[in-house]
Structure 1
Amino acid sequence: MPVMHFRIRWPDGIEANCYSPSTVVGEFFTAGESYGVGEFVARSREALNIGSERVREKYGFACSAALDQLARIEEDARRFIATHDARVTVLALD
């Protein structure tokens, strides 16, 4: 399966390189766009769950790396819960 990485910048300026086991993440994000933190988490959840299920369909097991990535995104996003207008920028999709 083709994997995809997406580089993001959190509202505090910290950048992260994120992993997806599938190119489906490209259907949920556009490089250069920013998303409210809640929207970013929701889109990540949907894209990474779809990617994990695609792995399950092909190999018979879910993609633990995708689920780990989602857990990291959700954990990092908690820092910005109190910030109403916080946005995450997608820097690149590879």
Structure 2
Amino acid sequence: MPEMYFQIRWPDGQEESCYSPSLVVGDFLTPGQSYPVADFVHRCDKALSQASERVRQKYGYFCSSAMDQLGRIRERAEPFAAEPDGLVTVQSFKPGAR
């Protein structure tokens, strides 16, 4: 199953590399696009949940790495919840090594 890394920039300027076990993240996020924090978290929830489900369908178990990544995104987003103008920018996608 092809994996994907997506590089993001949080509203405070910090950058982070995030992991998805599937290319499905490209159905929810677009490189160069900025999203309000809550929308970004929602999109990641959908993308990483679908990615984990794809792993389950193929291998018979959910992808704990996808769920760990989603947990880190939710945790990192919490401080920005009160900032209605805060944006997360998706900087790039990078396919993982197979």
Measured against the shorter chain, the TM-score band is: over 0.9
Q: Are residue 24 (structure 1) and residue 30 (structure 2) matched?
A: no
Structure 1 Cα separation of the partners of residues 76 and 58 of structure 2: 30
Residue-pair matches, total: 94
Task: List per-residue Cα deviations over 1:9-40 (Å, max 9, x = no partner).
Answer: 00000000000000000111111000000000
Any stretches of 5+ residues in structure 1 without a counterpart?
A: none
**CA-atom RMSD in angstroms:** 0.4
Task: Give the structure 2 partner of residue 72 of structure 1.
Answer: 72
User: Which TM-score applies when normalising by structure 2?
Assistant: 0.95
Deviation at 1:2, TM superposition (A): 0.1
Aligned pairs (5 A) from 1:13-52: 13-52=13-52
- 1-side partners of 2:81 and 2:44: how far apart? 16
SS state at 1:67 partner: helix
Q: How many Å separate the matches in 1 of 2:83 and 2:27? A: 27
Q: Distance in 2 between matches of 1:84 and 1:40?
A: 13
Regions of 4+ moved over 6 Å: none
Structure 1 counterpart SS, 2:7: strand
